[in-house]
Amino acid sequence: MSMCPYFNECRFMAEKLSEVNFAKNSLNMWIETSFCHGGYDKCARYMVADIMGAEKVPSELYPTRIDKATAILQTNSELASFFL
C-alpha cells in the first residue's frame, strides 16, 4: 500500500509525538510503519480525515482509536441528518 495521502498535513506526527520524547523514535517508527506507510486505511485519523476533512481531525486522536473515530463520524452523521 502507498503512503497515506494525509501524511504531509497530519498534525499527529508533528504535534502529538513531540509530547512523548522518550519514546518518540520507537513510537514514531511503529506508527509510520503500521499506518502511514502501510495500512493507513486502518488509521482512526485517516478515517475521520477522509470523510470530514483533515482539518476536522482532533489533534489528540491516536491512530489506533477506531472506536473514537467511529463515534466522531456517527455524531457528524447525526448532526448532518438533523439539518437536512
Chain positions contacting ligand SF4, by CB under 6 A: 4, 6-7, 10, 12-13, 31, 35-36, 40, 43, 45-46, 49, 63
Q: Which is nearer to ligand SF4, 31 or 72 (CB)?
A: 31
Q: Which is nearer to ligand SF4, 35 or 72 (CB)?
A: 35
40, 1 Cβ separation under 8 angstroms: yes
What minimum distance in Å lies between the beta carbon of 82 and ligand SF4? Answer: 27
Give the H/E segment covering residue 67: helix 66-83
